[in-house]
Amino acid sequence: MDIDKNIDTVVDYLLNTDNVSVLTGAGISAESGISTFRDPDGLWSKFNPQELASIDGFMSNPELVWSWYQYRVNIVNNSIPNPGHYALAEFQNLIKNFSLITQNVDGLHQRAGSKNVVELHGSIVRNKCFDCNKIHTSKIVEHNKISNCIYCNGKIRPDVVWFGEILPRHEIELAQIYAENSKVYFSVGTSAEVYPAADLPLIAKRNGAKLIEINPNDTQLTSFVDVKINLNSGIALPLILEKYKEKKGI
Ligand code: NAD
Ligand code: ZN
C-alpha cells in the first residue's frame, strides 16, 4: 500500500468513530530538536541511563543527575512544538472522545494546546521532593547548588519516572481505560520497548481498535498494526488532519 492510500484508510477510520486515542513517544519531539533515547544517535548512545535516570544514580551523585536534567530542561525551553504536536491539539477539538497519552516528559503537547494530556513518565518541567513527594515549582538549582525541600529538607528531584520506578497510578489506569475503549489507536514516534506503555496499543488492538503506527522505522509493534505510516510524525499527522477536514467539509 502506498502512503496516500494508507492515509485515506486512516481518515476513513477516523470519520467512523468518536473514540480515538494517541500514544506518543520521543519521536514526536524529534522534529522539535529534542533527541530520542534509543535511535543510533539518541541520548542513550552517549550517556549511561543507570547513572542518570535511576534512584541509585541520584543517591550516589545528585549533582551529576541534576546537571543532566538541567541540560535537558534548557534544550526543552529552547524548543518549540512542531506540526505533529499542533495537529494532535487540533484533532482534540474535532473528535468527541480524543485522548492523548504521552511517554514524553518535555511538555510540548501542552505548549501546542493539547488538554488533559496523560503523562505516563512525568515531566521535567516539574520537580518533587524525594521524601515527602510535594511538587516544587520554584528554581531548584541556583549557581549549581541544589536547594532542599522547604517542608522536610529532603532532596529535590525531577518529577519523572526513572528506571525501576513504577508509573503514576492514576495515569496508567486512565491510559488503560482509554486503550480498552478506543476504536482507533495511534502509536506515534515510540520504539514500543518501554513497558507498561508498550502494552497499551496491544490492549487497544485486543479490544477491537484499529491500530495505526506512525514511525519512519519499524518497531516490535509493526507486525500487529492495521496501518503503518512510514513518515515522520510532523509530516504524517498534518496530512491526516488536512484530509480529515477536507472529507468532513471543515
Ligand atoms: P525511543 O527513543 O525509544 O524511540 C523513539 C522512536 O521514535 C523510534 O522508534 C524512532 O524510529 C521514532 N522516530 C524518530 N524520529 C521520528 C519522527 N520524526 N517521527 C516519528 N517517529 C520518529 O522513545 P520512546 O519509545 O518514547 O521511549 C523512550 C523513553 O524516553 C520514554 O519513556 C520517554 O519518557 C523518554 N524520552 C522522552 C523524551 C521527550 O520528552 N521528548 C526524549 C527522549 C526520551
Ligand atoms: Zn519534602
Sequence ranges of the chain with CATH classification 3.40.50.1220: 1-34+81-121+167-250
CA neighbor of 22 nearest in space, from 168, 205, 160, 178 = 178
> Which pLDDT score is estimated for 139?
65
CATH code for the part of the protein at 1-34+81-121+167-250: 3.40.50.1220
Verify whether ligand 1 is closer than 6 Å to residue 228 (CB atom).
no
In tens digits, what is the pLDDT along the chain, a chain of 250 residues?
589 999 999 999 999 999 999 999 999 999 999 999 876 777 767 778 778 899 999 998 888 888 888 889 999 999 999 999 999 999 999 999 999 999 999 999 999 999 999 999 999 989 999 999 999 876 666 666 778 898 999 999 999 999 999 999 999 999 999 999 999 999 999 999 999 999 999 999 999 999 999 999 999 999 999 999 999 999 999 999 999 999 999 9
Verify whether ligand 1 is closer than 6 Å to residue 82 (CB atom).
no
Atom number, ligand 1, closest to the C-alpha of residue 29: 41
Residues belonging to the active site: 121
> Which pLDDT score is estimated for 147?
80
> Which pLDDT score is estimated for 112?
98
Ligand 2 centroid from CA 129, angstroms: 5
Residue 6: all three cell numbers together: 494508507
Architecture of the CATH domain 35-78+126-160: 2-Layer Sandwich (3.30)
> Which pLDDT score is estimated for 80?
98
DSSP E strands, the chain? 19-24, 97-102, 118-119, 122-129, 135-136, 141-142, 145-146, 156-160, 184-188, 210-214, 227-229
Sequence ranges of the chain with CATH classification 3.30.1600.10: 35-78+126-160
> Which pLDDT score is estimated for 41?
72
Ligand 1 centroid from CA 103, angstroms: 8
> Which pLDDT score is estimated for 92?
98
User: Which residue's CA is the closest to the ligand 1 atom numbered 2?
Assistant: 37
Q: Which residues contact 220 (CB under 8 A, 6 or more apart)?
A: 192, 193, 198
State the ligand closest to the CA atom of 130: 2
User: Which residue's CA is the closest to the ligand 1 atom numbered 23?
Assistant: 26
Separation between Cα atoms, residue 65 and residue 52, nearest integer Å: 5
